Amino acid sequence: MIEPLTPSKLERARAAREVATALSLYLSGKIPRAPYLDVRLHHSSRAVSD
């Protein structure tokens, strides 16, 4: 049985996509420093590199 989509599940999946994309870029060595991820500001996501 397929689990229903919920807002929290969607948020978690989107956060995971953000993390995974950042992880891939970081491990590639194309970003000089590890990224800083922040989702608290203005109820929206901010993702910046240190």
Which positions touch another protein (CB under 8 A)? 2-3, 5, 9-40, 43-50
In the bound complex, what is the minimum distance in angstroms from residue 4's beta carbon to another protein?
10
In the bound complex, what is the minimum distance in angstroms from residue 26's beta carbon to another protein?
6
In the bound complex, what is the minimum distance in angstroms from residue 5's beta carbon to another protein?
7
DSSP states along 1-50 = -PPPP-HHHHHHHHHHHHHHHHHHHHHHT-SSS-EEEE--GGGS-EEEE-
